[in-house]
Amino acid sequence: MYNQIVVPLDGSDLAEEALAEAKKLSTSSGSPLKLIRVVDTYRTQSLPATGMALDYSMLSELAEEEIEDAKTYLTAKVEETKAEGFTVSGDVLHGPIARQICSAAEEDDIIVMSSHGRTGIKRWFLGSVAEEVMRNAECPVLLHKSRDLKIA
């Protein structure tokens, strides 16, 4: 059915709800899972000048720490998923989040991801990674909505 099921994870419970959906899809389709975690180390390059002294060497250290945390988290998720009997791989990617998610999937794949369900000013200000992925992915995207999200 699908070459692989790409599941972006950010460490949140909401993202892991999408992993549960992806596992169901994998069970029914026989497609392997590909878990990814994107670390956007490029966002620090666009920090505005605030007039305060900033030690830019600290930014590099923080980025390396974030990458290591992502690797540790993803390795644990891959091992946990393998222990459940799934064929799974994992990859930590660097760069703009939506762009990296799209680049991790090919035409014969499917992306299964969660949406934070932001609306109004929060969505305008923070943007929507899920919306950007849906617009730019070259494969189908299954968007999982948490049962806990309520429309206000």
pLDDT at 14: 87
* pLDDT given at position 125: 44
CATH code for the domain of 16: 3.40.50.620
What are the pLDDT digits (tens) for 34-64? 999 999 876 554 555 554 455 566 767 777 8
Note the pLDDT tens digit of each residue in 86-129: 999 999 999 999 999 999 999 999 999 998 655 554 444 445 88
Residue 19 Cα to chain centre, angstroms: 10
Give the pLDDT score at 145.
81
Q: Which domain does 22 fall in, by range?
A: 5-46+54-144
> Does residue 151 sit within a domain?
no
Burial of residue 98 (CB within 10 Å: 0-12, 13-18, 19+) is: buried
Structural domains of the chain, count? 1
Please indicate, yes or no, if residue 105 is contained in any of the structural domains.
yes
Per-residue pLDDT at 32 exceeds 50: yes
Residue 150 burial by CB count (10 A; 0-12/13-18/19+): exposed, middle or buried?
exposed
